[in-house]
Amino acid sequence: MTMPSPHSAPQLGELEQQVMNLLWETSPRNVREVMDALPSKPAYTTITTVMQNLKTKNMVRAQRQGRFVLYLPQLSREEYVARQMHQALDASNDMAASILHFVQDLPEEGLEMLRNYLDQS
């Protein structure tokens, strides 16, 4: 059995992504709080299933508090996005070309941040 890379980021479905965005904004939240915050107003069982799927993907952890189960993100939004970026680079046949294309499309503020980081390294 192969272990997932420390850079692996699970693929999230649309509803899973919406739930993660809510948890990244404010957590912990229980199933009812997530349901009430979503514009589509999904069923309780739907959100329970989504939470279990996110647990399986190591995106959230559950914490019991009294009669409620609260869910918290396992990774910050920034860590998740960084893992997605690593995964994309790992899949590239030409990492240097992929990085160069990415950097060419960065807005000036992103380029400035990158320059400052590289100057400090």
Where helices occur in 1-121 by DSSP H, the ranges are 14-25, 31-37, 44-56, 77-91, 95-104, 108-120
Domain ranges of the chain: 1-121
pLDDT tens-place string over residues 14-67? 999 999 999 999 999 999 999 999 999 999 999 999 999 999 999 999 999 999
**Global pTM value:** 0.83
Select 1-121's CATH number: 3.40.47.10, 3.20.20.70, 1.10.10.10, 3.60.15.10. Answer: 1.10.10.10
pLDDT tens-place string over residues 8-20? 899 999 999 999 9
